[in-house]
Amino acid sequence: MHSHFNGLKTAMLIAVMIFLLSLIGWFISVSTGSMIWFWVMLVIGVVTTGWSYWNSDKLALRQMRAYQVSEAEAPALYRIVTELSQKAGKPMPTIWVSPQPQPNAFATGRNPEHAAVCCTEGILSLLDERELRGVLGHELMHVYNRDILTSSVSGAIAGVITSIGRMFMFSAMTGMGRGRRDQRSNPLGALLFAVAAPFAAAVIQLAVSRTREYDADEDGAKLTGDPLALASALKRLETGIPANPMPRNGNTEIVSHMMIANPFNMASLFSTHPPMEKRIRRLEEMAGY
């Protein structure tokens, strides 16, 4: 298994988030001449990171409108997850289904004892049971490698930064906050920050995503004992995702880097996922092809 020093990585992400929000607060304070914004953003950083630690799983599941399923409602899912978690000797996560028609899946939570695995209705319709087993092996290894806290917190960080960027964009476009007492405000600076904020959010997600996808592919294939099952699933997703586009908005963007495949532009330079063809080739090489 690949643990990735994820406790340290998450601590570093939290520190980066508090620093970035404090920097934003300083920028606003210099622009407006009031230091209150520095302290406001510092408090937002501390509160948001604490909240994201305890509630990141709930946030991701809510953004995808997921609902928890029972064994009677999803017997195949339960059978596969039970078998694989027992084989790994690890706790079994709760199982959720999202009504999204796009085929995809993700894992979330703060640790293996408080984790959830979610499949979209689209992936349940697209894949056969062998391929679904490969996908669930991949997602379970995100849980057991402790990737999920890192990815969940980075998603929350990205969401906050993007939201603040949009707030700046609105302020710059409407001239809000440029009253007589605020002659020093800088709308151009606000506009530049609004443009840079989504880029910064993407870089944060990119920094924690690509390597862990390769490792979850490898470890998941070892867990199932069938690398070609996951390779076959990825081939189906490669065509199934563009055929069923997911709406791109604040909700789905927060969760996108957690998914087994990029739900948006799969070939993007700043994609949070490695190229699909490389993932498939590595799995085929594991199987001796």
Q: Which residues are the active-site residues?
A: 139
Amino acid at 193: F
Task: Give the residue among 43, 23, 72 at the shortest CA–CA distance from 193.
Answer: 23
Looking up tokens 């640790």, which residue turns up? 111
Helices (H), 90-186: 121-126, 129-144, 147-174
As a residue count, the chain comes to 289
Token digits of residue 86: 């027992």
Q: 187 and 170 in contact (C-beta within 8 Å)?
A: no
**Does 114 appear as a known binding residue?**
no
The distance from CA 289 to its chain's CA centroid, rounded to whole angstroms, is 31
How far is residue 95 from each of residues 70, 118, 176, measured CA to CA in Å?
8, 6, 45
Distance CA 139, CA 133 (A): 10
Q: 160 and 104 in contact (C-beta within 8 Å)?
A: no
Q: Which segments are annotated as binding site?
A: 138, 142, 213
Which residues are documented as binding site for Zn(2+)?
A: 138, 142, 213
